[in-house]
Amino acid sequence: MNDATGPVPAPPVAVAVIAGDPGRAARVHDEIAPALAPVGVEVITAASVAEALAATPDGALLALAVVDARGVEVDSVLEPVVALDPAPYVLLLSEQTAHHDLHRAIDRDLIQALIAVPWTHQQLALQVRSQLARWLRRRDERDPRLRTLDAGGRPLELPSSPLLRDLELDDREITARLLTAMERVLGPRPRLHLPAGTRLTHQGADVDGVVVVLRGAVALDRHTEVGDLRLHHGSTGPVVGLLSLAQQRRAFFTSRTTTDVEVVHISLEQLDRAVAAEPEVAGVLAAVGVRALARRLRRAEQLQVREVKLNRELEQERARLTDAYQQLESARLELVQAERMATLGELAAGVAHELNNPVAALGRAAEFIGDDLDALLATHPRSAALAEVVACARDRPPTSTADDRAARRTLADTLGNADLARRLVAAGVGDPALAARLAADADPDELITAADLGAALRNLTTAAASVSELVESLRAYARPNDAPLSDVDLHNTIEDAVRLVAHRLDAVHLERDYRPDLPPIRAYPGPLGQVWTNLLINAVDAVDGSGTITIRTARPDDAHVEVTVRDDGPGIADELQERVFAPRFTTKQGTVRYGLGTGLAISRRVVERHDGSISLRSRTEPPTGTEVVVRLPIGGPSGSDRRPAEPAPPTEETT
pLDDT along the chain (655 residues), means of 10: 54 92 92 91 92 91 93 92 90 91 90 90 88 89 84 64 72 87 91 92 84 89 80 73 71 88 90 89 84 78 86 93 87 73 65 73 79 77 75 69 78 82 74 76 74 77 70 61 78 85 85 92 86 89 89 94 94 81 54 48 86 92 92 86 45 34
CATH fold for domain 486-633 = Heat Shock Protein 90 (3.30.565)
Task: Report yes or no: 440 and 379 within 8 Å, Cβ to Cβ.
Answer: no
The reply to whether the predicted model has a pTM over 0.75 is: no
Sheet holding 89-94, edge to edge: 42-46, 13-18, 61-68, 89-94, 111-116
Q: Which pLDDT value is given to residue 268? A: 85
Kindly list the distances between the CA atom of residue 510 and the CA atoms of 57, 545, 566, in Å, as whole numbers in the listed order: 90, 12, 10
Q: In 3-state terms, what secondary structure has residue 637?
A: coil
Output the CA angle 6-7-10, nearest 5 degrees.
Answer: 145
Give the pLDDT of residue 234. 62
Within the chain, which residue ranges are assigned CATH 2.60.120.10? 164-300
CA angle 60, 2, 135 (to 5 degrees): 45
* pLDDT (0 to 100) of residue 152: 62
Give span(s): CATH 3.40.50.2300, the chain: 2-157
Q: What are phi and psi of 32, to 5 degrees?
A: -90, -25
* Exposure on the CB side of residue 292, measured as CA atoms within 13 A: 19
Dihedral sign from CA coordinates of 129, 133, 139, 145: positive
Pairing of strands 625-633, 613-619: antiparallel
Residue type, 54: A
User: Quick one: 303 exposed, middle or buried, by C-beta within 10 A (0-12, 13-18, 19+)?
Assistant: middle
* Domain 2-157: which CATH number of 2.40.128.720, 3.40.50.2300, 3.30.750.24, 1.10.20.10: 3.40.50.2300
Spatial distance between the Cα atoms of 65 and 84, rounded to a whole number of angstroms? 12
Question: pLDDT at position 326, please?
Answer: 86
Note the pLDDT of residue 353: 67
- Domain 164-300 top-level CATH class: mainly beta
CA distances from 504 to 67, 239, 411, 499, 629 (A): 88, 88, 37, 10, 22
DSSP assignment string, 25-59: HHHHHHHHHHHHGGGT-EEEEESSHHHHHHHSPTT
* Confidence (pLDDT) at 591: 39
CA 554, CA 636: separation in Å to the nearest integer? Answer: 17
| CA end-to-end distance (rounded Å), the chain | 77
User: How many Å is the maximal CA-CA distance in the chain?
Assistant: 153
